[in-house]
């Protein structure tokens, strides 16, 4: 039986149910919640910065690469993570709830949507989208 997680993105207050194995970045984008991802999810930027308000125990420990990239993020907090590196359910009890805050500078980034050529990297995500949310 699939392991299920409930993820709430704030401040949008969008709650989604999802299975283990996806990154927070993919879960958000698939459900119409915008998180920037300049490098396409390869831990090579810090634009997918999110703040884990609840449920850190369901995510893997940050790698050194993630920590290094996070150092570049604006508004870093103790529970900051890179959305593209947080694979749900890689650690922890196997199901549960998370609350994920998307920092302000990532939410309304002007010129990001459709403005860069990294769309290819997201095409696999939008394929599954049932709610584009734009």
Report the alpha-carbon distance of residue 127 to residue 130 in Å, rounded. Answer: 9
Nearest approach, Cβ of residue 93 and ligand FES (Å):
25
Spatial contact of 49 and 106, defined as CB atoms under 8 Å apart = yes
2/44 with CB nearer ligand FES: 44
CA pair distance 31, 100, nearest whole angstrom: 14
Comparing CB distances to ligand FES, the nearer of 41 and 55 is 41
How many other CB atoms sit within 10 Å of the CB of residue 48?
28
Minimum distance from CB of 35 to ligand FES (Å)?
8
Nearer to ligand FES, 18 or 37 (CB): 37
What is the binding site for ligand FES (CB under 6 A)? 37-39, 41, 43-48, 69, 82, 84
**Residue 128 DSSP class:** T
């Amino acid at each position: 039986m699939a392991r299920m997680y409930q993820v709430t993105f704030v401040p949008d207050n969008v709650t989604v149910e999802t299975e283990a194995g996806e990154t927070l970045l993919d879960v958000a984008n698939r459900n119409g919640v915008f998180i920037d991802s300049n490098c396409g999810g390869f831990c090579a930027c810090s634009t997918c910065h999110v703040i884990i308000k609840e449920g850190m125990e369901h995510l893997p420990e940050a790698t050194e690469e993630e920590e290094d990239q996070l150092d570049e993020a604006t508004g870093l907090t103790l529970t900051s993570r890179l959305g593209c590196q947080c694979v749900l359910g890689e650690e922890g009890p196997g199901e549960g709830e998370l609350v994920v805050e998307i920092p302000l500078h990532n939410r309304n980034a002007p010129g990001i949507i459709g403005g860069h050529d990294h769309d290819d990297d997201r095409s696999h995500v939008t394929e599954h989208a049932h709610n584009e949310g734009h």
